[in-house]
C-alpha cells in the first residue's frame, strides 16, 4: 500500500527517476508475494523508464530482477537472457559487485537446465 502511495508523488512532479524506482519497488513487493505476472509488469515499466532516462544502474538492476522472476517461473532461457543483459551493463559501468552477482545469477538457470536435461 505504501509503495503504491509513494508512486503518486514522482508522477505528480514528473520525476521519472523516482517513478522508475517506485515501480521497481512495487515489482519487488509483488515478487515477494509470488505474484510474478504483476512483478514482471512493474519491473518492465521501471526498466523502460531507466532506459528512457539513461539510468544504466537501474536498468541493470531491473534486468536482474526480471531474470530472477523468470528463473522462479522456470523460464530459464528468458532468465539467462535477462541476466546476460544485466551483466553487460554491469561490466560497461564498472560495477564489479553487480558483475559478480550477475555471474552468480547466470549459474542458477543453467544448473536448473542441466538438471532437467538429465
Tens of pLDDT, residue by residue, the chain (118 residues): 444 555 555 555 567 888 889 899 999 999 999 999 999 999 999 999 999 999 999 999 999 999 999 999 999 999 999 999 999 999 999 999 999 999 999 988 777 666 766 5
pLDDT, tens digit (0-9, with 9 covering 90-100), for 73-100: 999 999 999 999 999 999 999 999 999 9
| CA distance linking residue 17 with residue 14, whole number of Å | 9
Residue 81, burial from CB neighbour count under 10 angstroms (0-12, 13-18, 19+): middle
Give the model's pLDDT for residue 118.
Answer: 57
- Of 82, 46, 78, whose CA–CA distance to 64 is shortest? 82
Give the model's pLDDT for residue 15.
Answer: 74
Give the model's pLDDT for residue 99.
Answer: 94
68 close to 43: Cβ distance less than 8 angstroms: no
- Domains of the chain and any CATH numbers: 2-117 (1.25.40.10)
Q: Taking the model in full, what pTM does it have?
A: 0.85
Amino acid at each position: 500500500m505504501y509503495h503504491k502511495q509513494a508512486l503518486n508523488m514522482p508522477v505528480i512532479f514528473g520525476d521519472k527517476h523516482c517513478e522508475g524506482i517506485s515501480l521497481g519497488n512495487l515489482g519487488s513487493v509483488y515478487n515477494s508475494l509470488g505474484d510474478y505476472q504483476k512483478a514482471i509488469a512493474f519491473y518492465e515499466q521501471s526498466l523502460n523508464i531507466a532506459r528512457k532516462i539513461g539510468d544504466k544502474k537501474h536498468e541493470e538492476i531491473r534486468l536482474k530482477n526480471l531474470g530472477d522472476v523468470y528463473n522462479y517461473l522456470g523460464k530459464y532461457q528468458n532468465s539467462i537472457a535477462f541476466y546476460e543483459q544485466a551483466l553487460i551493463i554491469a561490466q560497461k559501468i564498472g560495477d564489479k559487485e553487480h558483475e559478480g552477482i550477475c555471474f552468480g545469477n547466470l549459474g542458477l538457470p543453467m544448473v536448473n537446465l542441466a538438471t532437467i536435461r538429465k
